Each structure stands twice: as structure tokens, then as C-alpha cells.
Amino acid sequence: MSISHNSLAPALFDAMQRGGFSFVTADVMQPLLQSAGELADWPAFAASWNRLGPDPYLAAKGRFRRRRHATFTASAHGGVELAAHQAHYQSLQYNALQGDIERWFEPIEPVIAGGDSLRTILAFCHAFFGSLAPSVSRWHVEVHQFRIEASADAAGEPTPEGSHRDGVDFVLVLLVDRHNIASGTTTIHAPDGKSLGDFTLTHPYDSALIHDPRVFHGVTPVMPLIPGEPAHRDVLVVTFRAKP
């Protein structure tokens, strides 16, 4: 389900309740974010993707991407607070490629973790996901910066684990930048594999919102439009998982 420029948050809420996902175009997402806070540092926020470190765990599998990671906590009646740096963990049930191991990544830079843009994105997610799950009192929140690079010799794999669930409650995938790439289409599937929708994040702020227990998601590989020139896809992924 896709939210058009004529739709506002209630339509987004309804789409998530009905289908378990929604694709949101930048002309809708940016104002929704601005209703939750400031985006004044967006240029610096986007430029921080140029300083991501390589993912050593994926490199060990013969693949390549760059990333940083941070963990936050949130409560129903409080704000979103940065937690101590910690490992990212998924079970093999949710990540057959890299499950059942603690993966430590370089932390998101403090100026970015505490900056306006990320704080605004987290405030929006907290309010919106909280409205979809009002009984949840505490959230475990993880934030991932991803850069997928592509070359003429090797396609970039945004989701090397294939169509998957993350083992959380809610997911936001927000495009920060794409340069000289083709494809990178986000796909949504039912648990039985039936296709439910697809959408290519093309402009900064284009987003996918996902109720993870209900649907699977993936992204098609990316290739450079002009071989030999730098090609990348930069996204921010935010996950919310209810804490017991």
C-alpha cells in the first residue's frame, strides 16, 4: 500500500493496520517528520554516510557493505534515550546468513546520534509505532546506517539474507541518498511468499514502514547506471521491539 501526497498520518495508520506495511513518498514523509521536530542538520546527517566503516561480518561471507549502529530505549510516557553501545543480535530464525552471533559495529557518531534529524526521526517513530501498539510501555530501539556500494563487476546487495523479517515489531526504512544506481526496489511478501507490493525508494525521505511480524521484506540488488563511477544506496533503518 502506498500513501500519496494527498494523504496524512491517519491514512498511514490505516494502511499499517490493514496490510502491515506502507510505502510513503518524500512529499508526505518529510512534513510528517517535521511535525515531530527539526531537520536542520540534514546535510550533515546525510554526509555522515561517507564515514561508515565496513561490515566485517558480511565481508567474511564474501559480500560488502558499510554501516554504523546505535541502540536507544523509549518508554510510552517518556522520550527516546541513547543507550550504551552494544552488539546487534538476530537469531538464525530471522537471519540465516548471520544469525546467532553478536555483531559489533562502529557506533553512530555522537554528533549524529544526538543531532536534530535522527532525534526527529526517532520521535516520529516513537509516536507512530506507539499509536499502533498502545499497550507497549517500553521499547528497545536500534538504528542502522547502511551504505550499499555497487560496481560494474559486482551488484550491491541491500538485503543479502533475501526476503526476511527482522525479529522486531516495527521497521522504518528511510532513503537518505542514492547515487548512480539502478533498481534497489523494496519488496513486501506474505509469509507464504505471495507478493504484496513493491516500491523503489528514489528520493531522500522516501520510506517503507513495516509491521515485521506480519510481512517479509527485501530489496533487489543495485547496479551502477554508469559503469566505473561511484555508485551507492544510503538508507537509515530504525527498528522498534517491545521490551518485556
Task: Give me Rg for the CA atoms of the chain.
Answer: 17
What does DSSP assign to residue 236? E
pLDDT over 90, % of the chain: 75
pLDDT digits (tens, 9 = 90+) for 4-31: 333 457 889 999 999 999 999 999 999 9
Mean pLDDT of the chain: 89
Residue with cell 566505473: 228
Predicted TM-score (pTM) of the model is 0.91
Q: Residues near 205 by Cβ (< 8 Å), separated by ≥ 6?
A: 26, 29, 30, 33, 174, 175
SS3 (DSSP) at 170: strand
Domain architecture of the chain: domains with CATH: 2-242 (2.60.120.620)
pLDDT digits (tens, 9 = 90+) for 209-223: 999 999 999 999 999
Question: In terms of Cα–Cα distance, which of 162, 169, 172 is closest to 98?
Answer: 162
Residue with cell 557493505: 65
Burial of residue 12, with CB atoms counted within 10 A of its CB: 0-12 exposed, 13-18 middle, 19 or more buried? buried
- Return the C-alpha cell found at 146: 547502511
Please give the biggest Cα pair distance in the chain: 51
pLDDT digits (tens, 9 = 90+) for 91-114: 555 555 554 577 789 999 999 999
Which residues does the chain have with pLDDT short of 50?
1-7, 60, 62, 99
Q: How many residues does the chain have?
A: 244
Q: Residues near 3 by Cβ (< 8 Å), separated by ≥ 6?
A: 11, 12, 15, 22, 23, 24, 25, 28
Note whether 118 and 68 are within 8 A (CB): no
Question: In terms of Cα–Cα distance, which of 203, 188, 195, 198 is closest to 235?
Answer: 203
